[in-house]
Structure 1
Amino acid sequence: MRNSVFETILGLVVIVAAGAFLAFAMSTTESSGQSGTYSVTARFNSVVGVDSGTDVRMAGVKVGRVTNVSIDPERAEAVLTLSVRDDVELRDDADAKVTSDGLLGGAFISIEPGGGFETIPQDGSGEIIYTRGSVDILTLFASFAGGQGSGSDSSE
Structure 2
Amino acid sequence: MRESAFETVVGALVVVVAAVFLWFALARGGEAATGSDQYELTARFNSVSGLARGSDVRIAGVKAGIVKAIDGDPERFEAVVTLSLDTKWVLPDDTDARVSTDGLLGGAYIALEPGGGMDTLPQDGKGVIQYTRGSVDLLTLFASFAAGGGGSDTPDEPAADPLVDDLEGVEP
With the shorter chain as reference, the TM-score category is 0.7 to 0.9
CA deviation profile, 1:85-124 (whole Å, cap 9, x unmatched): 1010111110000000001111100000111011000000
Q: Work out the percentage of aligned pairs sharing the same amino acid.
A: 56
TM superposition shift of 1:151: 5.2
Query: Which blocks of at least 5 consecutive residues in structure 1 are unaligned?
Result: 1-17
Q: Quick check: 2:71–2:81 contact (8 Å CA) kept in 1?
A: yes
Corresponding residue number in structure 2 for 1:40: 41
| TM-score, normalisation: structure 1 | 0.75
Corresponding residue number in structure 1 for 2:72: 71
Hey, which bits of structure 1, 4+ residues long, moved more than 6 A? none
1:153 to 148, 151, 157: 157
Corresponding residue number in structure 2 for 1:83: 84
Taking the TM superposition and a 5 Å limit, the aligned residue runs for 1:2-151 are: 26=27, 30=31, 35-144=36-145, 145-146=148-149, 147-148=151-152, 150=154
Q: What is the number of residues matched between the two proteins?
A: 133
Cα pair distance change 1:51/1:110, threshold 3 Å: same
| TM-score, normalisation: structure 2 | 0.68
CA distance in 1, matches of 2:55, 2:72: 17
TM superposition shift of 1:152: 5.7
Q: Quick check: 2:55–2:67 contact (8 Å CA) kept in 1?
A: yes
Secondary structure at 2:97 match in 1: strand
TM superposition shift of 1:27: 6.9
Cα pair distance change 1:43/1:34, threshold 3 Å: farther
CA distance in 2, matches of 1:133, 1:105: 16
